[in-house]
Amino acid sequence: MKPDRKFLRQCISCKEYRKKEELIKITKDANNDDIKLNNDSLIQGRSVYICKNEKCIANALKKKKIENSLKSNLPEIVKEELSTVLKK
């Protein structure tokens, strides 16, 4: 039986479905192509979600899953922000 995925998002690394609050949203802005962590969901554009654990983030960065999905290079600032989210 499939889970009700109406309100769930899929992690780009582990492919598990989770609630939106349990994931980090990374968005490529539609207006100027800037890539930012988008926790308030105010930025419109192409987005990916990733779990808030070290294993998923390390795997996604290593295999460039975020960059491939957003079709753009990931800035160092965003990589640093991801590591600070883990430390909280």
Per-residue pLDDT tens over the stretch 4-55: 667 899 999 999 999 988 999 999 998 888 999 987 778 889 999 999 999 9
pLDDT exceeds 90 at position 66: yes
Q: Flag whether 2 is in a domain.
A: no
pLDDT exceeds 90 at position 3: no
Q: Flag whether 1 is in a domain.
A: no
Beta-strand ranges (E) seen in 7-69 are 8-10, 17-19, 23-29, 35-37, 45-51
The pLDDT of residue 1: 46
CATH number at residue 43: 3.30.1230.10
Count structural domains, the chain.
Answer: 1
Query: What is the span of the domain harbouring residue 47?
Result: 8-87
Spatial separation of the C-alpha atoms in residues 4 and 6, rounded to whole Å: 6
For 50-76, what is the mean pLDDT? 92
Q: What is the pTM of this model?
A: 0.86
- Rounded to 5 degrees, φ, ψ at 47 are -130, 155
